[in-house]
Structure 1
Amino acid sequence: MSQPPVALARGVLETTPLPEFLIHAFDRQYDGTLVLQSKNGEKNALMFVRGAPAKARLTSTNIFLSQVLADLGLVRRELAESTQAECAALGLTHGQLLKQRGLIDDAGLYIAVREQLQRQVLALCDLPPDTDFGFFGENFLAGYGPEGQWRVKPLPLIWRALVDHLPAARVAQIAAKIQTFPLKMRVEAPVARYHLKPNELSLVNLLRARPQPLEFLTECGVGTPEMVRRVAVALLLSRQLEGINDAREPVGLREPPESPSSLMPPPTDVATRNVPAPRDKMSSLPTSWPTVTPAPERVDAKQLDEFRREIEALTENPPATYYDVLGVPLNADPNTVRAEFFRLAKRWHPDKLPDELQSYRSAVTQIFARMSEAHQVLTDASRRADYDRRLNEAPDSEQRKVTQILEAVSAFQRAEVLFKKKDYPRALEEAKRAFEGDSTQADHVALYAHLLSLQNSDSTYALSLLDRAVEMDNNNVKALWYRAQLNKKLGRQAQAVRDYRTIVELRPHHVEAQRELRLYEMRRRTGPSGPDSARSSSQRPSRLSNTPPESGKGGLFGRFLKK
Structure 2
Amino acid sequence: MNPFEVLEIPPDASPEDIKAAYHRLAKQWHPDRFTGPEKAEAEARFRQLAEAFSTLKDPGKRLALQQQMPRPAAVSVAKEKEKEKDQDREGGQERTAEDWATMAKEAYDEGRVDQARALIHYAIRMDGTKPHYHALLATILERDGDDLRAVVKALETAVRLAPRDVDSHLRLAAHFQTLGMAARAQRHLQTAREISPSHPKLRQPVPKGGKGAKGTPVPGRKGKAAAAPAAQASLVDQLKDLWGRLTGKG
Question: TM (normalized to structure 1)?
Answer: 0.22
The structure with more helix, counted as a fraction of residues: 2
**The structure with more radius of gyration:** 1
The structure with more strand, counted as a fraction of residues: 1
Question: TM (normalized to structure 2)?
Answer: 0.44
